[in-house]
């Protein structure tokens, strides 16, 4: 649905040159929620703004729903943007318009007539749970409500893609969850493809099907979350299940086991103890529900060297678990 | 010297004031209208042709944008720096060309508009610069054309400070309209000079000051309330309540 190919963007201000994006490529499949995570200054904001060409890349191509945006004339680009809704960190609502007026903005731009516009706006406001606030002004709303208006505005023109530029970063944790649930609901009910950027791992955990890690203007790692968690050495997986620093335990082998899907509810540790007579100690564990499935990572200390523990480790691997030896 | 005890003094004063006020309102009203019609787009183009602005490259040419910006900046600065009394006299040939004469209230409209346009354009520029660029991005992301961004985002969102700017503008137009009166433009300034100064009638002078003061006060109150109404910083219910209070103040002239 969204294809970004070899996009680079450099900013020059005064004497300093900043390479915000360096040869970035990513593919977002239809109907999925794709999260780009990175710290501030990593280039994620430039990346999402390049998708609807609010920021035109220096090189590379951006294709959304079959339209190669980077090749379109200004008028065609405006038409193509109507298929791409966008929500912003600071909501960007017009203060002088009511909630309904804000939602109608996009429809006015397309040229929908007054009556149809009003009906559509109320329908969408109902969807985001703000039907009773149609006549209120943004100044009277809470942050979460403002973002719901932002989402309603983005959805009014029935886009195929929703871009979310740190939509929950200005919100408290509880409101963040409710907004994320709303995004998930829209994704499921309307089949909307969502590309979001965030600096919060929780956002990725809660709603994303796929994720990319961006750092210094480059994509370090990307893929579907289910496959990322079973990829050895994945930084995203490590950040999804933070286990902290590896302790130094002389004479022991420290292993990280990642479970996902079927292996998650198996009594692994008991099995190890029973079959191999090992005194397994648990150093840490993180369990999350990702994409509706239990997934987790456990750090265990097995007595003896890695070579000595070769049999139990290969046994675990044969059960479909990812086992990484992180210390011995 | 006018004798205040003469039987027709007060009706004469009233008559003179009525005509003077009418002329002033006419001069100020028409030049204000012209000021808005020319100054608003001028202010928008001034902001837009700046680097990174909405019209930074008209017809695809950044150079053209820069030239337009420089030229307009120059004109605005020139218009604002020349003292009005000099501008008024210097404009006489132009006024004669436009109106056919340089005497009378209609002729006075020309220098008044010329001085007010750059003033208001600056106010518009400042007001529009205050609009959050995020709003422009939001409109762009919805596929808005530049014209739609101006008409649906920039102008409505800057309305409140622009109204306040307009009220400052109209106050200076009233101020300058009195000056025009001294060179046979008519209006309240003319009354003050001919009766109050040349014929030593303090009562005429005081009456003119009161009338001008009331006009300025009413316009200022009107602008403040309109600006608050469009700002939507407070709850609209409160602005609703403020309206009857305005009507009262218009009636009583408070």
Quote the ipTM score: 0.84
Interatomic CA distance for residues A242 and A248, integer angstroms: 17
Neighbours of A111 (CB within 10 A): 7
pLDDT band at B251 (very low <50, low <70, confident <90, very high): very low
The distance in angstroms from the start CA to the end CA of chain A is: 45
- Predicted local confidence at residue A291, as pLDDT: 65
Which pLDDT belongs to residue A156? Answer: 93
The pLDDT value recorded for residue A24 is: 93
Pairing state between β A281-290 and A293-303: antiparallel
B185 — pLDDT class (breaks 50, 70, 90): confident
CA distances from A139 to A151, B234, B241 (A): 17, 7, 18
What's the rounded mean pLDDT across residues B17-37? 94
Q: Are A183 and A162 in contact (CB under 8 A)?
A: yes
Report the alpha-carbon distance of residue A145 to residue A149 in Å, rounded. Answer: 6
How would you list the strands of the sheet with A59-64, edge to edge? A16-28, A2-13, A59-64, A67-68
Interior CA angle at B155 toward B153 and B160, to 5°? 110
Average pLDDT over residues B4-29: 89
* Strand duo A33-37 + A193-198: pairing: parallel
Using the Cα atoms of residue B232, residue A81, residue A165 and residue A124 in order, give the sign of their dihedral.
positive
pLDDT, mean of residues B68-93: 90
Neighboring chain A residues of B231 at a CB cutoff of 8 Å: 95-96
Quick one: pLDDT at residue A228? 84
Q: Look-up: residue for tokens 């990593």?
A: A42
Q: For chains A and B, count residue pairs whose Cβ atoms are closer than 8 Å.
A: 78
Select from B56, B57, B130, B143 the residue whose CB has the most chain A CBs within 10 Å, as the one to mutate to test that interface: B143
Closest by CA position to B40, among listed B176, B152, B154, B144: B154
Are residues B139 and B152 in contact, defined by beta-carbon separation less than 8 angstroms? yes
Which contiguous run of DSSP H or E holds residue B50?
none
Of B137, B152, B236, the CB nearest to A105: B152
Section B138-143 average pLDDT: 94
pLDDT at A289: 76
Q: Is A273 on the interface with B (CB under 8 A)?
A: no
**Overall size of chain B counted in residues:** 254
CA nearest A63: which of A150, A223, A193?
A193
Q: Closest residue of A to B228, CA-based?
A: A96
β-sheet bridge partners, residue A194: A33, A162
pLDDT tens for each residue of A170-214: 899 999 999 999 999 999 999 999 999 999 988 988 899 999 999
Substitution target from A50, A109, A121 for chain B, most B beta carbons within 10 A: A109
Q: Report the pLDDT averaged over residues B120-128.
A: 94
Contacts made by residues B181-187, CB under 8 angstroms, sequence distance 24+? B181/B108, B183/B88, B183/B89, B184/B103, B184/B104, B185/B27, B185/B103, B185/B104, B185/B105, B185/B107, B185/B108, B186/B20, B186/B23, B186/B27, B186/B104, B186/B105, B186/B108, B187/B20, B187/B23, B187/B24, B187/B27, B187/B105, B187/B108
> Are A52 and B233 in contact (CB < 8 Å)?
no
The CA-based dihedral angle spanning residues B19, B25, B27, B29, taken in that order and rounded to the nearest 10 degrees: -160
How many alpha carbons lie under 13 Å from residue A174 in its C-beta half-sphere? 1
pLDDT of residue B250: 43
Query: What 3-state DSSP class applies to A213?
Result: strand
Residue B71 near residue B63 (C-beta atoms within 8 A) = no
Set of chain A residues whose Cβ sits within 8 Å of the Cβ of B157: 94-96
State the best of B139, B141, B157, B236 to mutate against chain A, taking most chain A CBs within 10 Å. B141
Read off φ and ψ for residue A284, nearest 5 degrees. 180, 160
Residues in chain A: 328
Mean pLDDT of successive 10-residue stretches along chain A, which has 328 residues: 93 85 94 92 91 93 94 92 94 94 94 93 94 92 94 94 92 92 93 94 89 92 85 82 81 84 70 84 82 79 85 84 83
- At B252 the pLDDT is 41
Can you list the alpha helix ranges (DSSP code H) found in A22-132? 44-51, 74-81, 99-110, 114-127
The angle formed by the CA atoms of residues A33, A39 and A40, to the nearest 5 degrees, is 110
Contact B132 A84 (CB under 8 A): no
Q: Which of A210, A234, A290 is nearest to A35 (CA)?
A: A210
pLDDT digits (tens, 9 = 90+) for A85-123: 999 999 999 999 999 999 999 999 999 998 999 999 999
Do A255 and A172 contact (CB within 8 A), yes or no?
no
SS3 A36: strand
C-alpha span between A228 and A234 (Å, rounded): 6
pLDDT, residue B233, reads: 63
DSSP string for A97-118: S-HHHHHHHHHHHHT--HHHHH
Tens-place pLDDT, residues B144-153: 999 999 999 9
Structure token digits, residue B50:
């700046």
A267-281, B66-80, B114-128: the lowest-pLDDT one: A267-281
Q: Which two tokens stand for residue A93?
A: 């609502």
Confidence band for B247, pLDDT divided at 50, 70 and 90: very low
What does the alpha-carbon distance between residue B70 and residue A269 come to, in Å, rounded to a whole number?
76
Nearest CB among A54, A97, A139 relative to B141 is that of A54
Looking up tokens 């204000």 gives B32
Q: How far apart are the first and last CA of chain B?
A: 33
Beta strands at A210-215 and A281-290: parallel, antiparallel or unpaired: unpaired
Contact partners, residue A280, CB within 8 Å, separation at least 6: A269, A272, A273, A300, A301, A302
- Please state, rounded to an integer, the average pLDDT across all residues of chain B: 86
Pick the residue from chain B with its C-alpha nearest to A139. B233
Residue B178 phi, psi dihedral angles, 5° rounding? -70, -35
pLDDT above 90 as % of chain B: 55
Residue A139: which of B143, B156, B232 has the nearest Cβ?
Answer: B232
- Token pair 């009014």 is found at A156
Angle between helices A310-318 and A268-276 (to 10 degrees): 140
pLDDT, one tens digit per residue, over B205-220 is 999 999 999 999 999 9
């Amino acid at each position: 649905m969204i294809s970004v190919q070899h996009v680079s963007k450099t900013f020059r201000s005064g004497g300093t040159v900043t390479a915000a994006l360096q040869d970035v490529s990513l593919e977002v499949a239809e109907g999925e929620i794709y999260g780009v995570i990175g710290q501030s200054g990593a280039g994620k904001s430039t990346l999402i703004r390049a998708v609807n060409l609010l920021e035109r890349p220096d090189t590379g191509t951006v294709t959304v729903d079959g339209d190669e945006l980077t090749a379109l004339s200004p008028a065609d680009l405006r038409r193509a943007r109507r298929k791409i809704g966008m929500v912003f960190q600071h909501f960007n609502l017009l203060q002088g318009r009511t909630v309904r007026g804000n939602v109608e903005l996009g429809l006015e731009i397309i040229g929908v007539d007054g009556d149809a516009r009003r009906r559509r706006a109320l329908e969408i406001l109902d969807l985001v749970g703000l039907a009773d606030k149609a006549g209120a002004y943004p100044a009277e709303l809470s942050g979460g409500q403002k973002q719901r208006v932002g989402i309603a505005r983005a959805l009014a023109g029935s886009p195929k893609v929703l871009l979310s530029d740190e939509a929950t970063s200005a919100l408290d944790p509880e409101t963040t969850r409710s907004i994320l649930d709303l995004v998930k609901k829209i994704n499921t009910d309307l089949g909307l493809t969502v590309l979001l950027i965030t600096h919060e791992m929780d956002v990725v955990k809660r709603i994303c099907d796929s994720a990319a890690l961006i750092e210094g203007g480059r994509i370090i790692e990307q893929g579907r979350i289910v496959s990322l968690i079973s990829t050895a050495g994945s930084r995203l997986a490590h950040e999804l299940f933070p286990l902290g620093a590896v302790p130094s335990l002389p004479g022991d082998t420290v292993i990280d086991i990642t479970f996902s899907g079927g292996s998650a509810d198996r009594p692994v540790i008991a099995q190890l103890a029973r079959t191999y007579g090992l005194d397994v100690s648990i150093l840490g564990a993180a369990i999350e529900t990702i994409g509706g499935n239990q997934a987790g990572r456990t750090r265990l200390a097995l007595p003896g060297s890695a070579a000595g523990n070769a049999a139990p480790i290969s046994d675990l691997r044969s059960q479909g678990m990812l086992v990484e030896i992180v210390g011995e | 010297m006018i004798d205040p005890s003469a039987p027709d003094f007060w009706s004469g004063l009233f008559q003179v004031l009525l005509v003077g006020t009418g002329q002033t309102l006419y001069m100020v009203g028409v030049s204000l209208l012209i000021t808005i019609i020319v100054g608003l787009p001028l202010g928008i183009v001034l902001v837009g042709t700046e680097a990174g602005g909405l019209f930074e490259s008209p017809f695809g040419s950044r150079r053209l944008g820069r030239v337009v910006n420089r030229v307009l900046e120059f004109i605005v600065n020139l218009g604002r720096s020349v003292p009005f009394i000099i501008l008024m006299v210097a404009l006489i040939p132009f006024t004669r060309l436009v109106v056919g004469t340089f005497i009378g209230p209609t002729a006075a409209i020309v220098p008044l508009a010329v001085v007010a346009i750059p003033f208001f354009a600056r106010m518009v520029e400042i007001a529009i610069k205050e609009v959050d660029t995020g709003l422009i991005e939001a409109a762009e992301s919805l596929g808005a054309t530049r014209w739609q961004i101006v008409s649906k985002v920039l102008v409505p969102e800057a309305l409140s400070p622009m109204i306040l700017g307009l009220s400052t503008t109209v106050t200076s137009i009233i101020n300058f309209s009195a000056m025009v009166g001294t060179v046979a433009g008519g209006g309240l300034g003319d009354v003050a000079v001919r009766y109050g100064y040349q014929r030593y009638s303090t009562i005429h002078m005081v009456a003119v000051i009161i009338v001008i003061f009331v006009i300025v006060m009413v316009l200022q109150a009107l602008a403040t309330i309109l600006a608050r109404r469009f700002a939507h910083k407070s709850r609209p219910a409160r602005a609703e309540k403020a309206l009857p209070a305005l009507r009262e103040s218009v009636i009583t002239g408070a």
